[in-house]
């Protein structure tokens, strides 16, 4: 089964659970109502299913191709056509600032579209993910001229953007970046142009011919810059140089040397880029590159978290279709002939596990994006600050947990297919291959865990996480008063208790025993993310029960399954606090 039908009911339910209605009341979104949002989502769902999804298998089989004599990269015509239809439809501009031609919709609505795009074609969806992240960076850090030259054409899809961080000797440790930026002419202290020289690797969609220009955002060092991340600056380096009015000139000094041969996402060219005296211009302040780049990295991390949802949803749809076609064995209710495998309890359990996990992952990422919408647009400064804390806390959770779970869901999809799952022609193997990169790029999930305990828990003494746990306690009280959810509420209450105990230990230990805390950081992230995801499923079920929704029984069953299957099997405090010494002792 190679088709994709966007799960609009699930998406809209998730949007409302995390606060879409409240976000639409903000002054920034005046004139946008729920019906408008539904129309937008329905329109994109049609494009995703009818145009983008059919390009997915073709892109996987054909991949991206490099002409080593010219450095040009091409993709399958179907991929280019799908991108053109996406761009021509104005979908690139949905959440961008109206000042530069954007639609001005909440980021939450754009995230829903991004999820559908990723399910339809994960490899192609990376292109607009990076472009949207570039837009958000430039909206905040570019000067007036840069915004006028670059933003409109990134927003309308005429140009695309890339993120250039990684080098052969600088992966997760960006302090090791060695690409140089030499001022061109005049007083170096007042330079407007720089010669960028160095090699960047793992550059997603770093070269292609689908748009007339590519805008590279590149980390590099000025002469005499301090060592480490304190000495990194950020530069705009276009594929084609521009005149003062923004018209295209000659090819700049940036070329693709090689394409990586990857496990998955074959249609996405992952490039080795060589910058040789490429002309660039500074974005933000000298040596302020890391601060500016985080404006691109944080939304990109949420977008990658969504990819865990996307690949899980596509794997679920393929697996469910297969299970309702494939006959094998005989269930207790079958009197003759083989049964559909969807009738076997173990397959039912796997399908429900997949469905509930996709729901939970969707809610978790949407909650983080909703917090960003409020932080960026609420008229009250105190509420903006609270939501900023919430968004920063949720970002590592929403990047790591859904991508780890996306790999697990894709693996379950292969399992449901049995031996046929290991065969490429069924298409489910592609889900597993494509999913495996998501816990790695945009900051490995181990780094997300380090960020969570170090920057988001220890630094503010647990303020943001305890605010969130307090809100979950309100959900517990509400669910405890609904008969169908009272037992799930008890499981959630115990999970919150474990979270609070772990937070207290981290705050007490981090200053003097950072290694001990870091030894349990990934386990702690799993504990908190699972707890938050479970609370959202229970909140969603309570909404449906109180509204008298026809889906209430299903939502309650899914919340109960997650509560009894996942919340009751959370990592223990002992696992989180076991310490670095035990890890060291257990290794040869």
In angstroms, the CA 296 to CA 144 distance is 19
Buried b / exposed e along 374-409 (16+ C-beta atoms within 10 A): bbbbbeeeeeeebbbbbbbbbbbbbbbbbbbbbbbb
Is 442 part of the annotated catalytic residue set?
yes
* Pairing between β-strand 248-251 and β-strand 194-204 as defined by DSSP bridges: unpaired
Distances (CA, A) of 15 to 23, 120, 136, 465: 10, 20, 22, 22
* Pairing between β-strand 213-220 and β-strand 254-259 as defined by DSSP bridges: unpaired
* Pairing between β-strand 213-220 and β-strand 159-164 as defined by DSSP bridges: parallel
Residue 317: burial class (beta carbons within 10 Å; 0-12, 13-18, 19+): buried
Give the 3-state secondary structure of residue 514.
helix
Q: Secondary structure of 149-165 in the HEC alphabet?
A: HHHHHHHCCCEEEEEEC
- Contact criterion met (CB below 8 Å) for 496 and 476: yes
In angstroms, the CA 437 to CA 205 distance is 15
Q: What angle do CA 503, 509, 513 make, to 5 degrees?
A: 135
Give the 3-state secondary structure of residue 111.
helix
Q: Where are the beta strands (DSSP E) in 318-384?
A: none
Of the candidates 138, 238, 230, the residue with the CA atom closest to the CA atom of residue 177: 230
Q: Where are the beta strands (DSSP E) in 270-382?
A: 270-283
Residue 548: burial class (beta carbons within 10 Å; 0-12, 13-18, 19+): exposed
- Contact criterion met (CB below 8 Å) for 217 and 137: yes
In angstroms, the CA 492 to CA 530 distance is 10
Place of tokens 């930026």: 181
Q: Which of 260, 442, 471, 508 is catalytic?
A: 442
Give the 3-state secondary structure of residue 578.
coil
Active-site positions read: 442
């Amino acid at each position: 089964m190679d088709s994709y039908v966007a799960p609009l009911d699930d998406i809209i339910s998730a949007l409302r659970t995390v606060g879409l209605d409240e976000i639409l009341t903000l002054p920034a979104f005046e004139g946008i109502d729920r019906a408008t949002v539904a129309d937008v989502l329905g329109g994109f769902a049609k494009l995703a299913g009818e145009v983008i999804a059919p390009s997915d298998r073709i892109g996987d089989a054909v991949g991206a191709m490099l002409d080593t004599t010219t450095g040009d990269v091409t993709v399958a015509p179907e991929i280019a056509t799908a991108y053109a239809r996406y761009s021509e439809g104005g979908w690139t501009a949905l959440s961008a600032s109206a000042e530069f031609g954007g639609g001005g919709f909440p980021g939450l609505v754009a995230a829903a579209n991004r999820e559908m795009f990723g399910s339809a074609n994960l490899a192609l969806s990376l292109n607009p993910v990076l472009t949207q992240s570039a837009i958000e960076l430039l909206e905040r850090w570019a000067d007036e001229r840069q915004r006028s030259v670059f933003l409109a054409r990134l927003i309308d899809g005429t140009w695309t953007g890339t993120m250039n961080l990684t080098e052969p000797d600088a992966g997760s440790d960006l302090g090791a970046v060695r690409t140089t930026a030499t001022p061109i002419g005049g007083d170096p202290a007042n330079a407007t142009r720089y010669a960028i020289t160095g090699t960047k690797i793992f550059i997603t969609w770093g070269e292609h011919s689908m748009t007339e220009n590519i805008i590279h955002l590149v980390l590099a060092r000025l002469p005499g810059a301090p060592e480490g991340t304190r000495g990194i600056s950020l530069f705009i380096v276009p594929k084609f140089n521009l005149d003062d009015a923004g018209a295209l000139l000659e090819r700049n000094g940036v070329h693709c040397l090689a394409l990586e041969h990857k496990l998955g996402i074959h249609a996405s060219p992952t490039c080795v880029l060589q910058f040789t005296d490429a002309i660039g211009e500074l974005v933000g302040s000298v040596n302020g590159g890391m601060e500016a780049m985080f404006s691109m990295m944080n939304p990109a991390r949420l977008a990658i978290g969504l990819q865990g949802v996307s690949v899980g949803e596509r794997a679920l749809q393929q697996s469910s279709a297969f299970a309702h076609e494939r006959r094998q064995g005989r269930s207790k209710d079958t009197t003759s002939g083989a049964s559909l495998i969807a009738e076997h309890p173990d397959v039912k359990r796997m399908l429900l596990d997949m469905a509930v996990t996709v729901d939970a992952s969707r809610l978790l990422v949407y909650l983080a994006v909703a917090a960003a919408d409020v932080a960026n647009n609420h008229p009250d400064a105190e509420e903006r600050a609270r939501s900023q804390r919430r968004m920063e806390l949720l970002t590592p959770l929403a990047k790591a947990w859904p991508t780890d779970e996306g790999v697990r869901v894709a693996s379950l999809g292969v399992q449901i297919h049995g031996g046929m799952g290991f065969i490429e022609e069924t298409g489910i193997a592609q889900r597993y291959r494509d999913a495996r990169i998501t816990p790695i790029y945009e900051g490995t999930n181990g780094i997300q865990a380090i960020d969570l305990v170090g920057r988001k828990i220890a630094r503010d003494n647990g303020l943001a996480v305890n605010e969130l746990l307090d809100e979950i306690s309100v959900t517990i009280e509400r669910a405890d008063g609904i008969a169908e959810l009272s037992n799930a509420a008890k499981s959630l209450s115990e999970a919150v208790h474990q979270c609070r105990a772990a937070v207290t230990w981290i705050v007490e230990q981090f200053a003097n025993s950072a290694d001990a805390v870091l030894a349990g950081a990934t386990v702690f992230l799993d504990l908190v993310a699972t707890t938050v995801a479970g609370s959202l499923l229970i909140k969603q079920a309570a909404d449906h029960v109180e509204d008298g929704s026809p889906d209430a029984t299903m939502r309650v069953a899914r919340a109960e399954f997650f509560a009894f299957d996942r919340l009751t099997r959370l990592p223990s405090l002992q696992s989180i606090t076991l310490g670095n010494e035990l890890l060291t002792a257990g290794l040869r």
